[in-house]
Structure 1
Amino acid sequence: NQGNFAMKLNIQCVSLSSNRNFRISALRWYSGRAPSNRPVLAICFETCKLQIMRNESDDAPIIVDTGMRNIDAEWNHDGSVLAICGTLIDYSTSKELNQVSFYSSFGQLVRTLKVPGNEISSLSWEGKSLRIAMAVDSFIYFANIRPDYVWCYFEKTVVFLNRNSSSFTRNATTNVITFWNTVSNQSFLKEVEPALGMAACSEHCVLAVECLNSNMKDNAGGGKEELHGDEKCYQLMLCNSIGTTVDSKYTDMKPNFIGINSGHVAIASFDEVLIWHYNTPKSAVNLHGAKTRKENRFHIDDTPTGVEMAKDLVIATGGAGGDNKGYKQHVNVDPICALAMSEKILLVARASGTINEYSVPNVALRNRHKINATAYKLDINCNSSRAAVIDDTGVMTLLDLDDDRESQLNFNRVERKDVWAICWAKDNPLLLALMEKTRMYIFRGNDPEEPISCSGYICAFEDLEITSVLLDDIISGDETQNAVSHIIQLRVKSLRDTDDLLQHVGLEDAKQFIEDNPHPRLWRLLAEAALKKLELGMAENAFVRCANYPGIQLIKRLRNIPSAMLQKAEVAAFYGEFEEAEKLYMDADRRDLAINLRITLCDWFRAVQLYRMGSGVSDQQMETAWREIGNHFASLRSWESAKEYYEKSHHIEGLMDSLYHLERFDELEQCIDKLPEKSPLLAKIAEMLASVGMCTEAVKAYLKMGDPKSAVNACVNLRQWGEAVQLARKFDMPQIGNLLSKHAAQLIKEDRLPEAIELQKRAGHYLEAARLLGKLAQRETEKDSSMLRIKKLYVLAALLAEEHLKTLSTAELSYKVDRNSLLDTMSPEDAHVVEHMWHAAEAYHFMMLAQRQLRFGIVHNAVVTALRLRDYDDILPAEDVYNILALASCADRSFGICSKAFTKLESLESIPEHRVQKYRELAASIYSKYSSEDTKVETVKCYACNAPVPDSLPACTICGARFPACVSSGKPITQPTSNIWICGICHHCAAPVEITRHHTCPLCHSLIISMTLEI
């Protein structure tokens, strides 16, 4: 930026030397935003040469020979078009002619413009590149520019490339395609990779995009065509009117030109043509017939005959890989410049002026046509008999494709200049609409009608109406697209004249005019006008001419109606004038017909109003109206309003849906009582209730329907196994047991023990649940979990085992009185499970009790409790038991007990030798100071024989009476059984003095209930 020399540009379009001087006429570097692969630097020499470079270091620039003496050049606003003005010599007159050539950023000639005057000196673009100004002599000429936008139209939808929404990055480009529905004014956006072109037909459009994403190339590699090396990949996307991709195809051929009909897509590069048979949901039933001929590909110099294509060049069979290489090695000096496709033929134009005509879909070369220019745009009429051609200078000519030379019109004399858009009518092969500058011309054969001022792009030509869209305003982004302001409907002269004749002259003159200019649209206009005047004969004749069967049926119906007013009402209803039809019915005192009209239109709100205007309306009619109004609100998902009208109409099914969506499940449950038994709606309401977890209510509905099997299935699905088992037993369904067992086994296999325990518990299999809880407690023991957690698990297991005992209770054997007798009735294995769970729970309970007593300094009680732990060496580790016993007895100065504990520790084989040695050293240090005798022995009296017994013994040494352990203190209870407390849940004992400090059982934590135990 300081003017210092940086580098020399690589000029390849001319040979620079010291002896030869070449004057540069223009040097233009586009400074806006552009993709990295688009050339932006243009260098024009006076000697017809143009060099376009991507950047100042581009080693492979694009070289173009403009064919004229270049004077000036300018990029348009987005860098996509380069305009070059200059002069060339007309050798026929030896005069210089002014010309402006428009090139794409890649050097392709887009259009040429002849400019009058002696010498053109410069040019300049308008801000949005929609106009260009040229300085010629002492004048300034202005020209309107009609950009060739990437757009199409189908199904009342305008599809266009939204340039303002395109986002460029350094290595990739993303385009946004807008699908604008002109009826609903809704827009759907579709983000794609760089869009190269699009075309539309019938119900679909095809987008051609370049795949820059490596993932897309990988996907393409797995398609029908094989990609080699770094070849570029392109995708054809078939979309519907909301932008949803229906079908797609990848190819390595660049789609410079694209066409589509109702079953095929044709694309062309500069030297190859590809025809792809696409599939849509409607054609899915015919897929079996399309698989063998998916696509056809051929070189423009080939002469396909249809049979060869089917046998040799069918790419769908995967045999085109080698042929593709051959195509690319072929140098084409006459490239393709335009393409058009109809239902019957395919036209491919070449730069030399040759237009090849191929049949579709068998792809056989039918004819070659020759024009004296390079075609720029082609369009084929509806019956494939004629085509319109616009060349690169804007001259439009007509091309006859019909082989019947006797019936041909002389189309060679039809020639129009400055044409930039053409469109044939879809329903008349002779009607052609074209845009010439800012005027639209309608041709009927060779004869043009009066021009219409219009600047829109032609979307469609059908029913004597042309639809055009103001793309300049939409794509520029200055205005939001709106059907009122951006869609223009234009009518041809015959349609306008027919309207005038019908309004101001008469039916006979209009009929004569229509006979001279026949068209179904004109006959329909005549039929409508005749009907409104009740000229039934003429209306019937017009309906027959336009093949309108509903209209003919209307005429027959009108002839059976004696009243002229009712006839007019029927005519108004036929043409959609429903308010007028209702008024006529009411004036004729036929409220019933007005009601029927509203019912036919599903206007139930108005039908209710008409019902209320008079009497004689039945309850059934009103309920039908309320139900339909409820359906209307339900379709709008206004469930509160729908509920109100369903209640009025007593429509239970609709009411159920409304309550379900309103989540009023209590009211939904009440609907069960409103339904009769065996009603099919009971199954529906049961499914609704089950879907929200209301199992009991769902079972109620199923049982009322008489379907216990579905009720059991609902319980199983909601994991209500207890209720499922009860129902299975009640209705004799043994298969529930097998299902339960399989599900439990699967849960255990998947190591989901808690869920399996819950399953068995809910199913009433308490003993199995207790066994699984015991396994879970053992796992926690292996993981060295807290003793409190392990104790809780064993207590829960024991309580489940007690529940199993309760299920065995009978009138003769009561659980509360005869628990031990119930245990005797069980198998030894099951009885062992019950006792083992309590045994394990006691073990961890007394271990924690001993630790707690030792911590709080109640050392003698700790010794007594620790001595009782010796009965649980099958549950607790022996080392832990004798460790706490040695510690407590040492603290209590009971060295005799302590000595026995150390002796046991030293004899344990389960502990390693180094720890045994530590125990020996610890015992030696203790007994080097103290003797191995108990310093004191506390005794209690046996409640049976009154003999003194050491308080640490669990039984009397004289009479053998056993002393149960107190679950509160761990001491033996030497009192009579009538004076001790026994838990009503776990059946364990406690001394009355000790239990007064508790509100719940120390072992099972159930509420304290006083009772006695008989021994």
Structure 2
Amino acid sequence: MFIYLSKKVTTPHDSELQCVSWNQNTDFIAAGGTNGSLRILKLAPAETSNKRHTGADNGIATPTNLSVNKELEAHTGTVLCVCFNEVYQKLTSSDSNGLIVVWSLSNDNWYEDMLNNRNQSRVVSMSWNSDGSRIAIAYQDGMVILGSAEGNRVWHKEMPGQLAACCWSPDGYLILLGFCDGEVHAYDSQGNFMQKLQMTALENVELETALVKDLRKDKIISLCWWAPVAKTKYVDNGGYKHKQTQMFNRPNQNDAAPPRITRQPTTEMLSDRQDGRPRLLIAYEHGVIQLMRNETDTQPVMVRLSQIAIACAAWAPNGGFFAVTGQLSDAPTGERNVVLFYTAHGERIRMLKVQGNAINGCAWDSTGLRCALAIDRHIYFTNIRPNYLWGYCADSVVYTFETAISEFRVIFYDVQQEAHYTKAVRHLENLSCNDEYCIISSRSDEEHGSYLCQLCNGMGTQMDFKYTEVKPEFVELNAEAAVIATEDLFYIWHFNLPKKNSFSFLALQRPSTQQDTIHHLDGSVAGPTLRKKKPTEVICALVVADTYFLAAIESGIVYKFSLTDGSQLHKFPLLTNIEKMYFNCTFTKLVVLTHQAVMRQFDVSEDGLNSIPGAQRTDVWNVKWDHEKDDTLAVMEKTRLFVIRGRETEEPVNSSGYIASFKGLSVRTVMVDQFLQRPEHPERRYIVDIEVKALREAKSMLTRMKVSEATAYIEKNPHPRLWALLAEVALNKGDLATAEHAYVMLKDYQGLQFCKKAQKIDDVHVREAEIYYHLGKIDEAERLFFQADRRDLALEMFKTQQDWFRVLKILQTTTGPGDDQLLKIVYERLGDYFYDRQNWENAIPHYEQSKNLEKLKNCYLRRADYNSLRHLATQLQPGNPLLIELSELFASAGLCEAAVENFLRCDRLNEALDTCIQLNQWEKAVTLSRTHNLKDVDSLLGKYAEALTGSNERTLAAVQLYRRAGKYLQAAKVIYDIAEDERKRGATLLRLKKIYVLGALMVEDYHCQQRIKFADAEKKKDKNADEAQIALSGLLEEDNSVSLEESRMIDSAWRGAEAYHFYMLAQKGLYQGNFDAAMKCAFYLMDFDDLLDPVEVYSVLAITSCATRQFSVASRAFMKLESLSDMAEEEKSAYRTLAIKIFNKYPPSDTVPNLVGCINCEHSIPDYSTICPQCDIRIPMCVVTGRPLFDYQFWLCPICKHRAYEQHISNLKYCPLCHHAIE
């Protein structure tokens, strides 16, 4: 960080300033002092200030002119306190007489709004809460008043002691009150006491120092709790745009936070960080500052300022830093004022000395890039140039910003393309760049190492990476290697890049076993575990050359190490407090920057560094050597850019940008402040190129067309860019001789050839057009070509430029010979243009125009548009290689029909058959095989099905295979084998039914297949054949084509499904108490004792028949049970005993016979009978109820051909047996 004074504003009437405050939303500054002085100031916008002073925007980020400077009149005493209400834009001021004035903003003017005077004591502190609705006013006598923004008193309370300061907590829940004895108490927003804060600062004070310096050890100077600034609700003339800049984008180094008490916020405020950063600052006059994370923090950070009496302390807008103003007690009068800048963790960054007698106030602006200091009668403005994490590599600006706690985004902004790329990084530690690459260092969660270093190019693409145990506090790199260092340790990382290695890089290569060696400054090698002891020598700066690097320590010693093996080459004294070091392009000179912003130059030799006399400069905060000249460098001093060449210094140019590069007589500066205000929306206008004097003067001469003078000037100050500029101007003027001379000096062979070519062109228009074309002025060249009626040259120019859009435009607007062929080429190139950018939609019509079917196929394939691919295949001639490729493409996509069709068009029968087999389209494969007499598919199918057998689940896959091949009987046979195996294993009834239904459906599919086959065959024989004739011939042919076993299987296809279906109906009726239906189902199941267990069937029949008083049926059931041969004698005896008990009581005859007429002969039979004894006809069963069906009107399933009562089937959606949908 570099800090300097940029402006001084003097107040009139000899009033001494006592306080100052800076509005974060509207940028107004309020300063109060003696004699009732209260001034309102405002700095002019940056754009106005820049144009007024420089006439151009050279990166002035901080304005210095005042647009408002007014006196507010209301006070008579000394104004001691001023504070802004950021939300409602009110200003509150108080003086030594106790008068409080509230001012309101309107049209950039402040008007008196409210007055209040308690007339008993003076105000020592005032503070608005975050949402601007409440103000806390602390009086010296202990009175605290809480007021509203409308001017109403909410409550007041007398405190037991005198007050010194007050502030609000960020959530508006607590009010902290600082007492004159140094204690700090916390009260809630209703005035209730909450707790007393632990004040470590009072416990460890140096009493002797405080007494000797006449400073009270308990006097609180500042009490402030950082909170994000709320956005204003004030709107006037479009309102004010709230700016929040990440003033310092470096990561937080301490994430540990103590527990915080749970509290319900009373206000809606901006998101607050929940990391371990201190937010509460308590400053005492004797030079002690206590930093606390919250009001319950028992381990605060203590900052002790030796020999300094504190006057004021204030947080920066982002809460990461704070400023402290005070006076050095041991300095002479007039030189005592100092401003110190600390991190939130109490680490000192910078100290700035300011002239004056007393410094009484300090305030930050909204960006955190400026401070206002109240000193005597003056307001001093200080500019701050932070040490951002940013860099410049490969024409890309690289910077980072934090999106959440420990979550960072690294932006790579390509200056040429004006495009940016984002890379997410967790736990970012460092960022360093050179001309080509960038290294992003972060803490690692992996086991490979504690830190991860990524080498990226200008687009953020990772080129190499390395895990290391060395904290990347310092990272410097060249094109082949990087040095990572912290304290007294360093590690050398040699890149492994995907490009041809240079000889210098080969010289630096070492065996891979030595790549992870960590070195100490003393030359020793660190062990497996790095030592934790604080070293005596700590690295403070690094710089890398081609084969070695320098490491400076705080004591002023510089070590020289080899980049090859890390060995120490030399050690010599230089300067203390070195901050940065920079090598020139040839590594012969070194620039050193110190913490005091002093720049020194040194000549580099083998033995050490020799100081260059007269090269010292002060107030330097940025340096960059010229990439091409070893004696030229660009230097930033405050807001002025100097170019130093040897011992000559050019006139400075106003700029506050950071130097990114210096080459081609142009210094490129980057306004990093502006980039970080809107980090996700970088803009090219924040990058400013500043030309050096030689380039400016040469341009001036050439603009005035003084070519000869410019040539002489360039010969005295030769540079490739100047010669290129002279060549361009000479060509524009038509001075080919001067242009040729310039190209000779440039050693530009192509330029020389062009000059010779131009001299041979007689036509003036054509020559001028060729010159414009050579200079890149395409539009002017095109205009002149058409003026000379050389349409062909214009077309050739655009073809060379690969600008096919312009070629197409010319072809569409004018005509000429050979346009058809050229138009076809143009459409193809335009298609390639869109194809390379993955814009398939726009590429397709251009490929269609060019009739490039190969590339059109690729576009359709990228879009997965197979319909268009099938249409494309129809446009190809049989045998076309592209058609074969499309066929293979269809096969790989599973489109069997399209693949086979196109294979057949190409006479690739075997490929078509293989496709069917691979895609399990066996039916089509069989058809192809029989149609074209190909290899035996049946045997192949059998082998494939056999390979699928094993478990029943795998065997079912073979069933699917047979089904796809149209081999329905083979599939049914396999299914019935599975069913038999499952039946023996005792599978569930439902599973067995499903398997038998599946087998029966295969048989039905076989019937359907045969009907279609024989119908086609009969129609080929006799076109007039009716359906009856076709069906009869089909049945006869079917009987002749199947074996006896297959015939039996066909006849009993549904028998297994019926058995288990009706058995489940019988069980269902039994358990539901519907014994009549259960008995009729069980009676029907007597015919299935080969599939069902007879004991279970006849047991169900015996139980249900007894329950329905059909004892004749029960008698038959018991007789069957007693006659079973595979039943044990004990069981038979039990059944016999049970039968005797039943039939001793009930005779074996039906108690209530229910007779119905036979559906065929009308003979009366019991309603449970399944066969008529008179005519031997089998009575069909209802698949819904399980009862015999005696109605003449019934429902018939079109698939399984089973029947059901219409009144019962009407409530169902599917057939109960085969589950076919009922229409």
TM over 0.5: yes
Which of 805, 816, 833 is residue 1035 of structure 2 equivalent to? 816
Structure 2 counterpart of 1:757: 959
- 2:822 equivalent to 1:589: no
Counterpart secondary structure, 1:376: strand
Task: State the identity as a percent.
Answer: 30
Q: Does the aligned pair in 2 maintain the 1:52–1:61 contact within 8 Å?
A: yes
Q: Does the aligned pair in 1 maintain the 2:601–2:615 contact within 8 Å?
A: yes
Which of 339, 360, 373 is residue 542 of structure 2 equivalent to? 339
Structure 1 counterpart of 2:196: 6
Task: Output aligned runs, 1:563-582, within 5 Å.
Answer: 563-582=763-782
Q: Does the aligned pair in 1 maintain the 2:989–2:1060 contact within 8 Å?
A: no
Q: Does the aligned pair in 2 maintain the 1:967–1:1003 contact within 8 Å?
A: no
What letter matches 1:393 in structure 2? Q
Question: Residues 742 and 16 of structure 1: is their aligned pair in 2 closer, same or farther, counting only changes over 3 Å?
Answer: farther
Give the C-alpha shift of residue 347 in structure 1.
2.4
Structure 2 counterpart of 1:201: 434
Give the C-alpha shift of residue 436 in structure 1.
0.7
Alignment gaps of 5+ in structure 1: 226-232, 305-312, 974-981, 991-999, 1008-1015
Q: Which moved more, 1:360-369 or 1:677-686?
A: 360-369
Q: Does the aligned pair in 1 maintain the 2:200–2:290 contact within 8 Å?
A: no
Which of 290, 299, 321 is residue 528 of structure 2 equivalent to? 321
Question: Residues 68 and 675 of structure 1: is their aligned pair in 2 closer, same or farther, counting only changes over 3 Å?
Answer: same
Counterpart secondary structure, 1:133: strand
Question: Residues 687 and 552 of structure 1: is their aligned pair in 2 closer, same or farther, counting only changes over 3 Å?
Answer: farther
- 2:1105 equivalent to 1:898: no
What letter matches 1:652 in structure 2? L
Deviations along 1:135-178, one digit per CA (max 9) or x if unpaired, are: 4444333221111112112233322232xx5434xxxx333333
Question: Residues 47 and 374 of structure 1: is their aligned pair in 2 closer, same or farther, counting only changes over 3 Å?
Answer: farther
- 2:562 equivalent to 1:359: yes
Give the C-alpha shift of residue 600 in structure 1.
2.7
Q: For the residues of structure 2 that align with 1:69 and 1:455, how far apart are their CA atoms? A: 33
Question: Residues 251 and 86 of structure 1: is their aligned pair in 2 closer, same or farther, counting only changes over 3 Å?
Answer: farther
Q: Does the aligned pair in 2 maintain the 1:152–1:459 contact within 8 Å?
A: yes
Task: Output aligned runs, 1:272-421, within 5 Å.
Answer: 272-282=489-499, 291-300=512-521, 302-303=522-523, 313=525, 320-322=527-529, 324-325=530-531, 328-329=532-533, 331-403=534-606, 411-421=612-622
Question: Residues 808 and 622 of structure 1: is their aligned pair in 2 closer, same or farther, counting only changes over 3 Å?
Answer: closer
Deviations along 1:896-935, one digit per CA (max 9) or x if unpaired, are: 5531211223555679989995895477335522146999
Counterpart secondary structure, 2:476: strand
Counterpart secondary structure, 1:415: coil
Q: For the residues of structure 2 that align with 1:74 and 1:1005, how far apart are their CA atoms? A: 83
Q: Does the aligned pair in 1 maintain the 2:642–2:653 contact within 8 Å?
A: yes
- 2:869 equivalent to 1:668: yes
Deviations along 1:592-624, one digit per CA (max 9) or x if unpaired, are: 111122223333343234335123235322322
Deviations along 1:632-656, one digit per CA (max 9) or x if unpaired, are: 4555666555444433333323444
Greater relative CO, 1 or 2 (CA 8 Å, sep 6+)? 2
Q: For the residues of structure 2 that align with 1:928 and 1:745, how far apart are their CA atoms? A: 63
Q: Does the aligned pair in 1 maintain the 2:335–2:353 contact within 8 Å?
A: no
Question: Residues 105 and 384 of structure 1: is their aligned pair in 2 closer, same or farther, counting only changes over 3 Å?
Answer: farther
Question: Residues 481 and 1004 of structure 1: is their aligned pair in 2 closer, same or farther, counting only changes over 3 Å?
Answer: closer
- 2:393 equivalent to 1:177: no
Deviations along 1:444-498, one digit per CA (max 9) or x if unpaired, are: 12221111111111122222222212222232349953212x1212111111112
Which of 356, 368, 390 is residue 151 of structure 1 equivalent to? 390
Counterpart secondary structure, 2:990: coil
Q: Does the aligned pair in 2 maintain the 1:159–1:177 contact within 8 Å?
A: yes
Counterpart secondary structure, 1:455: coil
Structure 2 counterpart of 1:115: 354
What letter matches 2:315 in structure 1? W
Task: Output aligned runs, 1:921-932, within 5 Å.
Answer: 921=1138, 924-926=1141-1143, 928-931=1145-1148
Give the C-alpha shift of residue 842 in structure 1.
5.4
Q: For the residues of structure 1 that align with 2:345 and 2:1219, how far apart are their CA atoms? A: 89
Q: For the residues of structure 1 that align with 2:408 and 2:1171, how far apart are their CA atoms? A: 91
Structure 2 counterpart of 1:255: 472
Q: Which moved more, 1:384-393 or 1:475-484?
A: 475-484
Give the C-alpha shift of residue 440 in structure 1.
0.7
- 2:1018 equivalent to 1:784: no
What letter matches 2:1121 in structure 1? L
Which of 626, 634, 642 is residue 441 of structure 1 equivalent to? 642
Give the C-alpha shift of residue 183 in structure 1.
4.0
Give the C-alpha shift of residue 522 in structure 1.
1.5
Counterpart secondary structure, 1:398: strand
Question: Residues 895 and 59 of structure 1: is their aligned pair in 2 closer, same or farther, counting only changes over 3 Å?
Answer: closer
Q: Does the aligned pair in 1 maintain the 2:873–2:886 contact within 8 Å?
A: yes
- 2:738 equivalent to 1:517: no
Structure 2 counterpart of 1:469: 670
Which of 629, 637, 658 is residue 428 of structure 1 equivalent to? 629
What letter matches 1:414 in structure 2? A
Counterpart secondary structure, 1:249: strand
Structure 2 counterpart of 1:79: 319
Q: Does the aligned pair in 1 maintain the 2:510–2:564 contact within 8 Å?
A: no
Counterpart secondary structure, 2:816: coil
Question: Residues 614 and 800 of structure 1: is their aligned pair in 2 closer, same or farther, counting only changes over 3 Å?
Answer: closer
Task: Output aligned runs, 1:228-239, within 5 Å.
Answer: 233-239=450-456
Which of 352, 357, 367 is residue 128 of structure 1 equivalent to? 367
What letter matches 1:840 in structure 2? G
Q: Does the aligned pair in 2 maintain the 1:774–1:837 contact within 8 Å?
A: no
Q: For the residues of structure 1 that align with 2:510 and 2:1105, how far apart are their CA atoms? A: 96
Deviations along 1:34-85, one digit per CA (max 9) or x if unpaired, are: 5643345666677777665656745474555657665554432233334344
Deviations along 1:175-226, one digit per CA (max 9) or x if unpaired, are: 3333333444444444433433211124432223345xxxx1xx1x3x2x5x
Q: Does the aligned pair in 1 maintain the 2:1170–2:1180 contact within 8 Å?
A: no
Deviations along 1:845-864, one digit per CA (max 9) or x if unpaired, are: 77689999999x99999999
- 2:905 equivalent to 1:701: no
What letter matches 1:299 in structure 2? H
Q: For the residues of structure 2 that align with 1:479 and 1:963, how far apart are their CA atoms? A: 93
Question: Residues 783 and 515 of structure 1: is their aligned pair in 2 closer, same or farther, counting only changes over 3 Å?
Answer: farther
Question: Residues 492 and 887 of structure 1: is their aligned pair in 2 closer, same or farther, counting only changes over 3 Å?
Answer: same
Q: For the residues of structure 1 that align with 2:1069 and 2:360, how far apart are their CA atoms? A: 113
Q: For the residues of structure 1 that align with 2:1216 and 2:341, how far apart are their CA atoms? A: 100
Q: For the residues of structure 1 that align with 2:952 and 2:729, how far apart are their CA atoms? A: 80
Q: For the residues of structure 2 that align with 1:413 and 1:605, how far apart are their CA atoms? A: 60
Structure in which a larger fraction of residues adopt strand: 2
Counterpart secondary structure, 2:385: coil
Structure 2 counterpart of 1:265: 482
Q: How many corresponding residue pairs?
A: 933
What letter matches 2:795 in structure 1? I
What letter matches 2:528 in structure 1? G
Structure 1 counterpart of 2:651: 450
Q: Which moved more, 1:614-623 or 1:932-941?
A: 932-941
Question: Residues 579 and 927 of structure 1: is their aligned pair in 2 closer, same or farther, counting only changes over 3 Å?
Answer: farther
Deviations along 1:369-392, one digit per CA (max 9) or x if unpaired, are: 543441122222222222221111
What letter matches 1:167 in structure 2? A
Q: Does the aligned pair in 2 maintain the 1:89–1:95 contact within 8 Å?
A: no
Question: Residues 367 and 733 of structure 1: is their aligned pair in 2 closer, same or farther, counting only changes over 3 Å?
Answer: farther
Q: Does the aligned pair in 2 maintain the 1:773–1:796 contact within 8 Å?
A: no
Structure 1 counterpart of 2:807: 607
Q: Does the aligned pair in 2 maintain the 1:774–1:797 contact within 8 Å?
A: no
Give the C-alpha shift of residue 519 in structure 1.
1.7
Q: For the residues of structure 2 that align with 1:130 and 1:557, how far apart are their CA atoms? A: 57
Question: Residues 718 and 540 of structure 1: is their aligned pair in 2 closer, same or farther, counting only changes over 3 Å?
Answer: farther
Question: Residues 161 and 674 of structure 1: is their aligned pair in 2 closer, same or farther, counting only changes over 3 Å?
Answer: closer
Question: Residues 968 and 400 of structure 1: is their aligned pair in 2 closer, same or farther, counting only changes over 3 Å?
Answer: same
Counterpart secondary structure, 1:542: helix
What letter matches 1:294 in structure 2? Q
Q: For the residues of structure 2 that align with 1:1006 and 1:46, how far apart are their CA atoms? A: 95
> What is the TM-score of this pair, normalised by structure 1?
0.78
Q: Does the aligned pair in 2 maintain the 1:85–1:122 contact within 8 Å?
A: yes
